[in-house]
A and B are shown apart, each in its own frame.
Chain A
Amino acid sequence: MNKTWLIFQREFLNRVQKKSFLIATILVPLIFPAILAVMVYVFMKQEESAVKQTIEVYDATGKMQFEEDDKYKFIPVTGNLDQLKTAFNLSDHYALLYIPEIELANPEGITLYTKENLSILRMEQLKGKIEDLIHGLKLEQFNISRETLSSLKTNIRLHNINISDPEEEKENNTQSLYALGFILGMLIYFFVMIYGMQIMLGVIDEKTSKVVEVIISSVRPFQLMLGKILGIAAVGLLQFTIWAVLISVLSSATLGLLGVDMADQQTMEQVQSMQQPDAQVQANNNNPVVEIVKIIDKIPILYITFNFIFYFLGGYLLYGALFAAVGSAVDNQQEAQQFTLPIMMPLLISYFALFMFILTDPHSTASFWFSIIPFTSPIAMVGRLGFDVPLWELLLSQVLLIAGFIFTTWIAGRVYRIGILMHGSKVNYKVLAKWFMMKA
């Protein structure tokens, strides 16, 4: 055990001390907001600098009153369409809009002539304007005022309150839970992929640099494998913790900029609810950010964090051992591909299942099985965590996951101990099976 610890330390320290680790750890949480900021900035700049475009309108109905806005200016034209087209081509106008005599019920034949291909954005903008006008004309036709129409429009918020626990009525927000499940599932997916690959590359490196023979004359191959897997897990956990802290600091800073201070908001709420309990709901309804913050406060943080870390590690260990076995069997990364694909399949499947049906219907039979089977449970169960998973399902899934990674580690260990000593042999599944059965 002492030697496994030594290997663990080396793997951990060696990786953590690398410059690339430091850079990735600090940059990743900054990169996403930065990219977002740059994109928003570019978009805004573009909008600002956009020149007002002139559009010629040939309106055969004579009823369409286009209003000038900060993007488009409309000038009415009349005459022969072909002549208009020729004239338009010579002008510096942006487009020629032709509206033929149309039936309101079935407006067809409206055409926009341009000199370049229109962007989807502009297309939508102009389409919206025309639709709006026709909509208005229709209302007029049926004698309906705009006020009547807007009073007909119904918009409700469906409050969903879980009363399974009579002590506390929890207000659910399915959408936030969906997002949460999606993010957590994705984190596990990436963690397993990134660090699983790291294990594999580490093993290949030891094998090709031939250092492995010296090492296993001092430690058992299994200890080496385990030390490596755990060491890299620690690196990953550290990195993710730093990311989590940095991101939450950054996002609360952003929220702060938006005028929502979590602590303030809570005290405010308390004061409000003491003074006038009814007003609170209304006030909150107006502010979607407050709403989200409120939901986040309601999610059982401890429960989710604990279980997330469990599946995070469990999934990693389950797959990590398999990646180690693959690394031990091959001489280079190219060779590894034929073996990594089948390993990644269940991961990929559970990742797709996550947003295809697990999150939309967390209590379906398929969701149940996905979250019970060890190969898919790390992603599937984490997606369901917010949706009140029955305790027995959770425990069953966790026990099976533990059994699962003990099983894969055992299998991997048997392949690994032989594989790391084999050089230049052509490896296929039959060979792996033979190694597995071999006596050491």
Chain B
Amino acid sequence: MCNSHLLSYTNHPNLNIKPVEALTASNVTKRYSNHLALDQVSLTVPSQSIYGLLGPNGAGKTTLIRIINQIIHADEGQITLFGEKLNPKHIGEIGYLPEERGLYKKMKVGEQLIYFAQLKGLSRKDATERSKTWIKKFDIKEWWNKKVEDLSKGMAQKVQFISTVMHEPKLIILDEPFSGFDPVNAQLITKEIMELKAKGSTIIFSTHRMETVEDLCDHIALINKSKKILEGSKKQVKDKYRANTYVIDHRGAFTLAENNYNLKDQTVLEDDFYQSVITTIPETNPNRLIRDLTEVTEVHSFIEKIPTISEIFITLVKDETHE
């Protein structure tokens, strides 16, 4: 477990980057008059990672994101960005795609991209150049002079994505990034996100739809009811919540005498072929189980049943509500 964690650090493609955290939050609290939106939330987002900020609707994700974007301010706690205390200078280093997408309907695509980039601190010349590059990259050059109101929803989403990343922010925050994208465009956006990460950006995904980020994220944090209830690398989290459950396809029925194992289920697949589900006590390891199994049956496949993030999330949220 520990090894794998270390490994993920040494695996960094770009070793020149200092292992400074892209973002840290310590004990961030935000209170509204009638409820607590964030309660002592602490997070560490490693540099150049894709970080999934997960949680059900109303958990406080958007509040946290707004605080990072300095749209609102925390009542308590501190946030640092690349080692510095959060300050107005950071605005140009963040790219933010809000959940509620919005562009000026009456403004032309080109003008709009330039305007947004200028607001992020680019000069007009740079802003123009980059807008043109991106629009070429997304193969939507013919939209340059079109008004946003004449675009389809998917088209507008592309424009909005460009406006989020074109100033090459070091930290990109995407709130529900795939809502509203068709599968083709979602693929395109995923590709761009991976490219941005490779170039050195850190990406925070915020979503309540785990399945969309399961594959993409390196790190995740779970927020529920204003509190962080889980944080870590994907591997760490999965290790923590592995159920020590294995699914084995085998030929020949068997029973297990040892106390360490618990044969949960054994079903017939075909003739003499079976599928069995075994849980073990945490202290054993898969190798031992395989060894023991080979003595009693002919093993055809051996899979550890690892919970998906979504399953972990549901278990945790359920636990919370039961408490």
Contact = CB atoms under 8 A, between A and B. Distances in A.
Nearest to A223: B119
Given A421-B71, A439-B73, A213 B116 contact: no
A209 B103 contact: yes
Interface string B108-132: 0000000110111000000000000
Contact of B73 (A212, A213, A219, A440): A440
A91 interface: no
Interface string A202-225: 000010011111111111000000
Interface in B79-102: 91, 94, 96, 98, 100-102
Interface residues of B, number: 27
A3 interface: yes
Which applies to chain B's interface (DSSP): helix, strand, loop or mixed?
Answer: loop
B104 A217 contact: no
A401 B102 CA distance: 37
Given A6-B115, A6-B118, A217 B102 contact: no
Given A214-B96, A217-B69, A10 B115 contact: yes
Contacts of A211: 102-104
B163 interface: yes
A217 B94 contact: yes
Interface string A1-18: 001001100100010000
A209 B102 contact: yes
A215 B33 contact: no
Given A14-B106, A14-B107, A218-B116, A213 B71 contact: yes
Contacts of B33: 434, 438
Contacts of B163: 214
A209 B104 contact: yes
B120 A210 contact: no
A215 B96 CA distance: 10
Contact of B102 (A6, A14, A212): A212
Contact of B75 (A209, A216, A434, A439): A439
A218 B75 contact: no
B105 interface: yes
A438 B100 CA distance: 23
Contacts of B118: 6
Contact of B120 (A212, A213, A218, A434): A218
B105 A214 contact: no
A291 B163 CA distance: 63
A14 B118 CA distance: 16
B91 A217 contact: yes
B71 A210 contact: no
Interface string B158-178: 001001000000000000000
Given A6-B115, A439-B75, A218 B102 contact: no
Nearest to A219: B119
B314 interface: no
B188 interface: no
Interface in B17-56: 33
A422 to B, nearest CB: 11
Contacts of A440: 72-73
Given A14-B106, A211-B104, A218 B119 contact: yes
Given A206-B104, A210-B100, A439-B73, 13 more contacts: A6-B118, A210-B102, A213-B98, A214-B116, A214-B160, A217-B69, A217-B70, A217-B91, A217-B94, A218-B119, A219-B119, A421-B71, A440-B72
10 contacts: A6-B118, A7-B119, A14-B106, A14-B107, A211-B103, A212-B102, A214-B102, A217-B71, A218-B119, A421-B72
**Complex A-B, nearest 6 residue pairs according to Cβ-Cβ distance, in ascending order:** A210-B102, A211-B102, A218-B119, A210-B100, A217-B69, A213-B98
Interface of A: 3, 6-7, 10, 14, 206, 209-219, 421, 423, 434, 438-440
Interface of B: 33, 66, 69-73, 75, 91, 94, 96, 98, 100-107, 115-116, 118-120, 160, 163
